[in-house]
Amino acid sequence: MTDVAGNHTVTVALKMLDPELAPPSYATLGDAGADLRARQETVLEPGQRALVDTGVALAIPHGYVGLVHPRSGLAAKHGLTVVNAPGTVDSGYRGEIKVCLLNTDRTETYTVSRGERIAQLVIQRVETAHFEAVTELPESERGAGGFGSSGTH
């Protein structure tokens, strides 16, 4: 199935736990993330984190995952981010999606309003790995280098 822009689409069953909230939606055609909204007002003091309900429960099809990403505007303007970004919503999960927000601002309190767009949900296909135990790994150019070893900038 495709949308009017020719993008592949998948049907995801949606249960709104708060019918007064807007369901997840894409701001513009072709966007990767659908906006999730806050179910309740939440005050975040500087450095504080909180689990914010969205009023949304989904049945994501097997072979897909929901990834909860921060909204760039909230991060840039107010220092709000998703602590475990991206948060993972597995296909077998049927509970309410909650977003763990963190106020990284050192001085300003931020109040999340009910209905405010707080995160983006990206639905992606996933592959399941078969992990095979070996005694040696094949060589690669990078090798075991990590934590900044691939460049100076």
72 in a labelled binding site: yes
Those residues with Cβ within 8 angstroms of residue 102's Cβ, 6 or more apart along the chain or in another chain = 44, 47, 48, 49, 80, 81, 82, 83
Q: Is 88 annotated as a binding residue?
A: yes
Using pLDDT thresholds of 50, 70 and 90, give the confidence band for residue 150.
Answer: low
Summarised one tens digit per residue, pLDDT across range 72-114 is 999 999 999 999 999 999 999 999 999 999 999 999 999 999 9
**59 in Cβ contact with 12 (< 8 Å):** yes
107, part of any domain: yes
Answer whether residue 134 is part of any domain: no
Task: Answer yes or no: is pLDDT of 152 > 70.
Answer: no
> Is 39 known to sit in a ligand binding site?
no
- Digit-coded pLDDT (tens) for 120-149: 999 999 999 999 999 999 998 877 777 766
Question: Residue 23: inside a domain, yes or no?
Answer: yes
The answer to whether 2 is a known ligand-binding residue is no
The response to whether 18 counts as a known ligand-binding position is no
Q: Is 112 within a domain?
A: yes
Let me know if residue 67 belongs to a domain. Answer: yes
* Pairing label, strands 64-70, 117-125: antiparallel
Tell whether residue 90 is among the known ligand binding residues: yes
Residue 61 Cα to chain centre, angstroms: 17
Share of the chain above pLDDT 90, in %: 84
CATH code for the domain in which residue 53 is found? 2.70.40.10
Which residues form the domain of 97?
A: 15-125
pTM of the model as a whole: 0.87
